[in-house]
Amino acid sequence: MKVVVALGGNALLQRGQPMTAENQQENIRIAAESLAEIAKDHQLIIAHGNGPQVGLLALQAAAYEEVDAYPLDVLGAESEGQVGYMIEQQMGNLMPAEQRFATLLTQIEVDPNDPAFQNPTKFIGPVYSKEKAEQLAASRGWAIKPDGEHWRRVVASPLPKRIFEINVIKMLADQHVVVICAGGGGIPTMYKNDGTLTGVEAVIDKDRAGALLAKELGADAYLILTDVEAVYTNWGQENQQAISKASPNAISELSFADGSMGPKVEAACDFARATGGVACIGNLKNAVKMLKGEAGTTISSRCGAIEYW
């Protein structure tokens, strides 16, 4: 079975945790345990988030005032190498020596007229108090929004249109290489009026990019792995309920937060409708159970009305 996994940036670096290399290595080690179990029995392609990582790189770049800060597309490429290296190493420590890995820089086309550029929603970087976030927004020209009880920087998150390296990814996957690609939603690029390709100051949502990747690869399953157990109704309230199964149409009737669960549910529904495959959302520690329908939220056209755990 061909399985595409979208590994959440907050699963790689837990919310509020210091953004040290050691913390990221430890979190990726935990993630690698689940990913290695999937790779033993299935063809595995891994996409991952980079919100915390690319935000940290942006802060580091801004601290060096001798030159202009590097744009987000370049920082996104840097984060693909950073996270891909850590995933390869930690999975390699758990799998047979002959298992092959490849981390691929992945350019993804976006529409320069995408309305997302007028309404930034993608969280990047660390969390702040409201006061600190407002200070940084004023001094650095950031857009900021609340993220739970904290505040964070937000940037545009345009929809992915085309994965330029898709044929290379297919070739590697068909050779049973564990491919790590479309990191951070891929490197956002667009065509200029003269026909040349250029980077874009944005971060593509990795769950939507993962759904496009899974569709174009003809995947059987698409797992969105994060730091929560499932998709919940009435999240954060006393009457919250974890959804176990739902059809794309049924779960699309509900509303979820734009900056967090909303894109995950939309991406899962998009994949399930387009392919007839199974999409799952849940905790990265339960990845193998999710494939068996024993954990997380399963979204499939074969499901009916919403069921709860």
Looking at the annotation, which residues are catalytic?
9-10, 122, 206, 264
Could you count the other beta carbons within 10 Å of the beta carbon of residue 304? 12
Q: 201, 72 in Cβ contact below 8 A?
A: yes
- The 10 Å Cβ neighbour count of residue 190 is 19
- Residue 25 to residue 161: CA distance in whole angstroms: 32
- Per DSSP, what are the bridge partners of residue 150? 147
Structure tokens that stand for 49 in this block: 């988030």
| Residue 281 and residue 207 in contact, taking contact as beta carbons nearer than 8 Å | no
Find the DSSP H helices in the chain: 9-12, 21-41, 51-63, 72-92, 130-140, 166-174, 206-217, 248-251, 261-275, 287-291
Whole-Å CA distances, 252 to 237, 266, 298, 305: 20, 8, 13, 11
